[in-house]
Amino acid sequence: MSQVLKHILVVGSGGQLGHALRAASGEFNEFRFTFWERADLDISVESWVLERITALKPDIVINAGAYTNVERAEDDHEGTEAGNAQAPGYLAKACKSIEALLVHVSTDYVFDGALNRPYTEEDLPQPLNYYGLSKLKGERAIDAVFDHYYIIRTSWLYGTFGHNFYNTMLRLAKERGELFVVNDQFASPTWVGLLAHDILAMLRRKYTEGVSIPCGLYHYTHEETASWYDFARAIMDVHAMNIPVHAVESGRFPTKAKRPTYSKLDISKWKNATGLTTFTWQEALRQCYSVMENR
């Protein structure tokens, strides 16, 4: 085993990204990991965040926690604000006081979808829903405290664990035998297993290999664009489930939270800075499937 180089604390680790980071951590022996779920640390309680993190003194904090229910966020502004807008600022303060790096994850829903090309880090955020607004406030709360951070915006996260589109489509396909899926919203589905791996691979590049990767804001997803319909069709194909998938307009499923019609993220900055290999969303889906099959 290589020498342990850095201690990484993952907070909010009970969700899909937290699980994926735990699964990927075994490949990164140069790091020592501590995983805290909500019961170990509620990131929306400032005094607790400052106390527990400064006592542990990790070198790096990865925030995998957030208030992610986009629909409920429209009604629960207080809860959303606490988890997504304020908590990141508390984490930044704690990190600053112990000179730790903060890695925080944000969302494509900071954009309104009005562009006709992939969104870069320079494009103006203009959230359409309360979840997106709260996540944008969280980004700004971190930036107001210090600049020793990576904020990684991603889109349409899925994996084999937790609540996500992939698991929902598989369940509905088995229950109903056919699917009706929205065909007028476009982005790139992101396999959480690759995101988790690549966050740690980026940290390896930085700390083990000495590659200079400037702190700041990055977009991370896979190559190429899909609609939810395209994604559902591909999930059925990869699982060899021969059932009808019908394309419908989003108006068929009215939601309280407005979603951007187009939120593809441009990942050039991430690719150039990290040099990590990227995959199309179809390749990532096949990787997710093969991990599931080989378990």
- Which residue, 14 or 223, has its beta carbon nearer to ligand NAP? 14
Binding test (CB under 6 A) with ligand NAP, winner from 6, 8, 9, 42: 42
Give the residue carrying structure tokens 């954009």: 111
Identity of residue 154: T
d(CA 134, CA 291): 33
Binding mask 98-137 for ligand NAP (x = CB under 6 A): -------x-x---------------------------x--
CB of 84 to ligand NAP, least distance (A): 7
Based on the shown chain and the rule CB under 6 A, indicate whether residue 221 belongs to the binding site for ligand NAP.
no
- Number of residues near ligand NAP (by CB under 6 A): 24
Q: Pick the stretch among 14-22, 53-61, 242-250, 272-280 that binds ligand NAP (CB under 6 A).
A: 14-22
Using the 8-state DSSP alphabet, how is residue 243 labeled?
A: -
Phi/psi of residue 230, each to 5°?
A: -55, -40
Q: Are 247 and 234 in contact (CB under 8 A)?
A: no
Binding test (CB under 6 A) with ligand NAP, winner from 61, 62, 64, 169: 64
Q: Which of 70, 64, 63, 66 is nearest to 131 (CA)?
A: 70
Q: Pick the stretch among 1-9, 39-47, 171-179, 278-286 that binds ligand NAP (CB under 6 A).
A: 39-47
* Residues annotated as catalytic (active site), given as ranges: 131
d(CA 54, CA 69): 30
Q: Angle at the Cα of 175 (from 172 to 181), degrees rounded to 5? A: 30
d(CA 91, CA 107): 18
Question: Which residues in this chain contact ligand NAP in the complex, by CB under 6 A?
Answer: 12, 14-17, 38, 42-44, 64-68, 83, 87, 105, 107, 135, 154-157, 162
